[in-house]
Amino acid sequence: MTFSSPAPTDEDIRAIVAPMTSLEGPLLPMLHALQDEYGVIPDIAVPVLADVLNLSRAEVHGVISFYHDFRKSPAGKHILKICRAEACQSMGGEALAESTLARLGIDWHDTTQNGAVTVEPVYCLGMCACAPAAMLDDRVIARLDRARMDKLLDEAGA
């Protein structure tokens, strides 16, 4: 993930999505590939994807905006997703989330000042039996408490 590179061009976007054009349901894989490359979905990708897939700009925008995971602004180095669904709530998830945000001094969707961690809410990670749960980047962590969360945040450099 590079954030200081120049804004992608029409051709850059086309080059990234070209290998996926023959997939069935290609839009989501394309969006993931773009986000992997740029950390965000660049605005310019909307008309390009519309052209490549013969969709309208509105449709592409509708899909991107439906999924909160597709970002408009870049995230921090790590993304911490804290579960806010019922099972986690019942096991103290809310309090854990509040204390985590308080420690980092940020609100949901925000990134710490040093750019290390972005905190996002998530609704169920499928770990209800071991609640409360969270996910740091691609790693799911369950049976969380404040101490374990602090360890995680330290690890992430927050």
Partner 1 sequence: MKDFIIPQFPPGDDRDLGTPARSGAPVSLRVDGFDVTVPEGTSVMRAAALAGIMVPKLCASDNLEAFGSCRLCVVEIEGRRGTPASCTTPVAEGMIVHTQSSKVKRIRRGVMELYISDHPLDCLTCAANGDCELQDAAGQVGLRDVRYTPGDNHFDPSGTGARSQSEARLRMPVDQANPRYTPKDESNPYFTFDPSKCIVCSRCVRACEEVQGTFALTIEGRGFDSKVSAGTPLDDFLSSECVSCGACVQACPTATLQEKSVIEMGTPERSVITTCAYCGVGCSFKAELNGDQLVRMVPYKHGKANRGHSCVKGRFAYGYAQHKDRILKPMIRDTIEEPWREVEWDEALAFAAGRMKGLQQKYGRRSTGVITSSRCTNEETYLVQKLARAVFGNNNTDTCARVCHSPTGYGLGKTFGTSAGTQDFDSVEKSDVVVIIGANPTDGHPVFASRLKKRLRQGAKLIVLDPRRTDIVRSAHVEAAYHLPLRPGTNVAVVTAMAHVIVTEGLVNEAFIRERCDWDEFQYYVDFVRQDRHSPENMQALTGVPAEDLRGAARLYATGGNGAIYYGLGVTEHSQGSTTVMGIANLAMLTGNVGREGVGVNPLRGQNNVQGSCDMGSFPHELPGYRHVKLPDVREIFEKAWGVEIDPEPGLRIPNMLDAAVEGTFKGLYCQGEDILQSDPDTHHVAAGLKAMECVIVHDLFLNETANYAHVFLPGSSFLEKEGTFTNAERRINRVRKVMAPLNGYEDWEVTQLLANAMGANWHYTHASQIMDEIAATTPSFANVSFDLLDEKGSVQWPCNEDAPEGTPTMHVDHFVSGKGHFIVTEYLATDEKSGPRFPLLLTTGRILSHYNVGAQTRRTANVVWHPEDVLEIHPHDAEVRGVNEGDWVRLASRSGETTLKATLTDRVAPGVVYTTFHHPATQANVVTTDFSDWATNCPEYKVTAVQVSPSNGPSDWQESYNEQAERSRRILPAAE
Per CB under 8 A, 94 contacts partner 1: no
Site stretch for partner 1 (CB under 8 A), options 4-12, 53-61, 91-99, 140-148: 53-61
Per CB under 8 A, 21 contacts partner 1: no
Per CB under 8 A, 57 contacts partner 1: yes
Work out the angle between the directed axes of helices 27-38 and 45-53 (0-180°, nearest 10): 150
Closer Cβ to partner 1, 39 or 47, answer by number:
47
Peptide bond preceding 132: is omega within 30 degrees of 0, i.e. cis?
Answer: yes
Q: Are 117 and 78 in contact (CB under 8 A)?
A: yes
CA 136, 78, 68, 51 torsion: positive or negative?
negative
According to CB under 8 A, which one of 28, 33, 55, 101 is a site residue for partner 1?
A: 55
Closer Cβ to partner 1, 22 or 54, answer by number:
54
Q: Are 148 and 112 in contact (CB under 8 A)?
A: no
| CB-side neighbour CA atoms (13 Å) of 27 | 21
Closer Cβ to partner 1, 33 or 55, answer by number:
55
**Subset of 99-138 contacting partner 1 (CB under 8 A):** none
